[in-house]
Structure 1
């Protein structure tokens, strides 16, 4: 919890500091490779905010541009409330340079954190349906109104909104009564993070983190997405856009509902993730890639012959199927769920359903089998 200061890039935030004459730091919520996150009180509006304080080199102007687009595109869209926006932005002048800061609404746990709190380490069907509805609304907003591809949909970037303000007050009181452990590195304080408690009422799901987002109206073929969620067109370096997010979401569902990855990409010879192993798994699950897709990919010749046959030096796994991989549903409900999944997991990006089409899916709108 203390290793973030090894790079010396982080701004030395002190609990109690006031920034921009209005944001008073109350405690540390967490940190990543490019930022630390703090709960603060807005002294003028008597409300709570989260401050994301970037390292000197961690901020990306493209990310700030994305937040500008997201905040203004169409606030009346039903997905607007399920996309994390920026409330304010300012710069802190540190001893070694400037540190951009983003002001946002504080959020509860991510889906990843939520899974760790759950002894079963997987969502119920009801929770999955409710969460996916909100994520799909967010993606419909991003794709249709903002013209943005997220490219990094994972459990860490899906957050629960705080509607139980008691959590914020309890966090503040806990810090006052039992201050967070801290140490000093080169004279700068490094605090332990503090977690929120369990809310009495859960808010909606919010899609966050636009550091890897790109404009979707310009197709591109650069590498993107977390390894195990990469779409076929990204792996083949064919032109990709919004449908890459749809594949990404579909593959991620296995992590939160089946407690395993759908694809691992673990190469049996190199003993690490490799694109050829990932594509072999996709081929085992869905069959050979359509020839027209193969012909679009810059990297396709590494994996397929000119007539679309598999040639990479790794075997296609046998016995793979969506039916065999899904282990929690039965009968008609399982059939409906797998049809929903197939709307996302198609080789060709143009064959995948849009977020808006998926919102109308029969399984997503049916009563849960767990009721």
Structure 2
């Protein structure tokens, strides 16, 4: 019976789609003096980017349709899976970019239960492969296409802040994703920020519109040292927004292993990371709390700008946290390998930076009133605690009264 089913599945499988023919003329040629996209990167100058061409078919399966954006270590392309008959994105990393640990994390993401409601709110890998080259191989990550990030939504809003309803909806989905990540996959993200929360593309017509635009009006491009560089093209505004999805697991680590190395973007760095105490899942909860302030209040809760004028410093950041939360518990300081740099043995602040006053959460919150404000501040306090063990878990936060009001 199994043999018959296997034969039947193979017999009725839809054959691969033929590759599309993209124009090889009729496009704008960018002037040599105009710097385009990844040309700005030092990696490009060193010849580390993959020389992708629109219309190319990679590993006899993925046809490149157009460039979506670029980063310091990769370019991202909309492509068509000719075998699966669906649109995908290809994130092609620079040559020999060490991505084995990140790819192992993506494999770990698929091991959790698909029945968990947070499973759908994690951006997973559809495929991972390598493009061979005589000068070094190019790792490639295949994923579902996504629309813009929460940060992009913030920029689109004239007030540069989320409404209360939009914030609550997004957070419910992010806490589902985090509960899946922490409990099912045993992973810590360590880089939760508005850039890394994307929206699924519910309105698939924008993918077809993108393709037709590339066919009818090819992307501007130029040739640099014999290699093509294309201008990025944006998706149109969708008619329907999809689910919020937690993405970018390049900094993720296992949560069941002891660690105290530096992690997280500066302004999102949690109190246990700064003095080098052991840390795990609760750093993600702190991340979310600080990000909420960005999204709802329209500004950072912490900046960490040192008065010496040299930019971010741990001592300035710790002073700001004390201004919001009060002094850290002595037992927490006793765990930190760097605590002695900032505090005396009995927990007194010893740096020559003043601790801000009049900046508690209640005074800093500007948009809510009465009981609603009290509930919101209580919600924030569930995430912003000195001791990681005093913070609520993602599962706890899903039941928060303010979030469910």
TM-score per shorter chain, which class?
Answer: over 0.9
Q: Are 1:82 and 2:121 counterparts? A: yes
TM-score of the aligned structures, taking structure 2 as reference length: 0.89
Equivalent residue in structure 2 for 1:168, among 207, 219, 223: 207
1:63-102 aligned at under 5 Å gives the runs: 63-102=102-141
TM-score of the aligned structures, taking structure 1 as reference length: 0.97
Contact 2:62/2:81 (8 A) holds in 1: yes
1:204 alignment counterpart: 243
The answer for unaligned runs of 5 or more in structure 2 is 1-36
| Residue-pair matches, total | 366
1:24 alignment counterpart: 63
Q: Distance in 2 between matches of 1:167 and 1:270?
A: 46
Contact 1:285/1:320 (8 A) holds in 2: yes
Q: Distance in 1 between matches of 2:123 and 2:109?
A: 8
Q: Distance in 1 between matches of 2:134 and 2:147?
A: 32
More divergent stretch after superposition (342-351 vs 324-333): 324-333
Q: Distance in 1 between matches of 2:366 and 2:217?
A: 44
Equivalent residue in structure 1 for 2:320, among 281, 286, 301: 281
Equivalent residue in structure 2 for 1:353, among 392, 397, 400: 392
CA-to-aligned-CA distance 1:53-81 (integer Å, 9 cap, x gap):
01114342111000001012211111011
Q: Distance in 2 between matches of 1:221 and 1:196?
A: 40
The answer for unaligned runs of 5 or more in structure 1 is 367-371
CA-to-aligned-CA distance 1:138-171 (integer Å, 9 cap, x gap):
1100100100000000111110001100110111
Contact 2:74/2:93 (8 A) holds in 1: yes
Contact 1:66/1:210 (8 A) holds in 2: yes
1:369 alignment counterpart: none
More divergent stretch after superposition (208-217 vs 49-58): 49-58
Deviation of 1:82 after TM superposition, in Å, equals 0.4
Q: Are 1:187 and 2:226 counterparts? A: yes
Contact 1:158/1:207 (8 A) holds in 2: yes
Q: Distance in 2 between matches of 1:343 and 1:219?
A: 24
Q: Distance in 1 between matches of 2:364 and 2:386?
A: 18
CA-to-aligned-CA distance 1:74-116 (integer Å, 9 cap, x gap):
1111101101100111111235210011110000001112222
Contact 2:96/2:136 (8 A) holds in 1: no
Instruction: Pick the structure with greater CA Rg.
Output: 2
**Does the residue aligned with 1:364 lie in a helix, a strand or coil?**
helix
Deviation of 1:254 after TM superposition, in Å, equals 1.3
Q: Cα RMSD (Å) of the superposition?
A: 1.1
Q: Distance in 2 between matches of 1:191 and 1:257?
A: 36
Runs of 4+ aligned residues of structure 1 deviating over 4 Å after TM superposition are: none
Equivalent residue in structure 1 for 2:284, among 222, 245, 262: 245
Deviation of 1:259 after TM superposition, in Å, equals 1.1
